[in-house]
Amino acid sequence: MTEESTQPQPFTYRASDEELEDLRVRLRATRWPDEPEGAGWSLGANLESLQELVTYWLDEFDWRAQEAQLARLPRFTASIGGLGIHFVHARAAGESQNVLPLILNHGWPDSFWRYSQVIPLLTDPGEHGADPADAFDVVVPDMPGFGFSDRPAGLPLDSPAVAGLWAELMRTLGYGRFGTAGGDIGSHVSRYLALDHPDNVVAVHRMDAGLPVFDGDPATLSPAERTWFDSVAAWGVDEGAYGAIHRSKPQTAAFGLTDSPVGLAAWIVEKMRSWSDSADGEAFTKDEILTNVMIFWLTGTIGSSMRMYHANAGIPRSRVTRRVEVPSGFSIFGGDIVRPPREWMDRMANVVYLSEPVRGGHFAPFEQPEQYAEELRTFFRPFRSSTT
């Protein structure tokens, strides 16, 4: 442990009544935009859907109940690298042998919330119809500037820097060897844990291979890779405006999103809808959507979360294109937004496992927790002895 790390302390959170009343006042005072007739979701967040969600938010949503549900998770804080880091640390149930420590890394727009449904399935598989021998000690931190973790005081941290913090966090918790998994930005952080701390990471599981960055000879790309590059570029034109704002001018957007709960909800809900695996956009209940939004609202972290895109845009290409030699597994869910071909994954990582579940999207750990848990159990099973 370094001098900048402290032993974990139990964490509890309860929003004040004043914060909740301020939220209700702001919701009631919403100034709604107009919308072209028949636009639906084609131009972004849909007016009728947001009005329905806000009505529910005001009249039926019970934050106290959701707060209590999240409080059932064993949550802690510790100072890591000079930052207060909030995390879940859920130990394997019973007297499980050969337990594998596992750190799960969330993405945007979410927090530890992404894994709240899957944690019990990983720590106590026997209780959920799986093999008790597949139990994990699970650690789920909020990245700096997300959720209940501190915001960096200066420039935002990039994914390699966060990976360094997580290696220190795991050492602080007593884990010298561990597995790591993630999606979205969390996939990036997991990748850098494997690249920069290969002596600590026994294996890495990812839900995506990131956006393609390639400095080699284009003639060496396979037809499938070229097609994928083209599809990613087309997706960026149609769907990538949010990312361009996050990378270039996140602070400008932060003013409106921090001030308006409906603006914040629109920014997040549109992505939860379009990135999930649901033809009708109903992958999440209103309670689930609003719980995710409320974490951003109450912590005031939408601006700091977006700034991580700006930080990651500055990672040197030579680092981005490094190949991961630690054993790597990929579960590419059928409803996710960017699905790479096997050739690209093999180019960028030492792939020892590939699965393509039919159901589940960008938020698969929340959308399909049973399937996601089984993916992790299956992939990490051969590596359990590597931690002893």
Question: Which residues are known catalytic residues?
Answer: 184, 309, 362
Token pair belonging to 56: 């529910």
Alpha helices in the chain (DSSP H): 17-28, 47-59, 63-71, 119-123, 159-172, 185-196, 223-239, 241-248, 250-259, 261-275, 286-299, 302-313, 317-320, 342-348, 364-367, 369-380
Question: In this predicted structure, what is the pLDDT of residue 2?
Answer: 45
Q: What is the pLDDT of residues 276-286, one digit of tens each?
A: 997 566 789 99
120 part of a folded domain? yes
Spatial CB neighbours of 29, under 8 Å, sequence gap ≥ 6: none
The total domain count for the chain is 1
Nearest to 89 by CA among 203, 11, 150: 11
Question: In this predicted structure, what is the pLDDT of residue 95?
Answer: 76
Q: Phi/psi at 73 (nearest 5 deg)?
A: -75, 145
pLDDT beneath 50: ranges in the chain: 1-3
Cross-strand pairs, 141: 87
36 part of a folded domain? no
219 part of a folded domain? yes
234 part of a folded domain? yes
Token pair belonging to 39: 């636009």
How far apart are the C-alpha atoms of 284 and 116, rounded to whole Å?
14
Nearest to 50 by CA among 25, 67, 30, 69: 30
Token pair belonging to 231: 């599809």
1 part of a folded domain? no
Spatial CB neighbours of 181, under 8 Å, sequence gap ≥ 6: 102, 103, 104, 105, 190, 204, 205, 206, 376
Q: What is the CATH number of the domain that holds 381?
A: 3.40.50.1820
Three-class DSSP category at 88:
strand
3 part of a folded domain? no
Domain membership of residue 19 as a residue range: 9-29+42-387
Instruction: Tell me the whole-structure pTM to 2 decimals.
Output: 0.96
Nearest to 337 by CA among 250, 248, 271, 268: 271
Question: In this predicted structure, what is the pLDDT of residue 97?
Answer: 77
34 part of a folded domain? no
91 part of a folded domain? yes
The angle formed by the CA atoms of residues 360, 114 and 349, to the nearest 5 degrees, is: 65
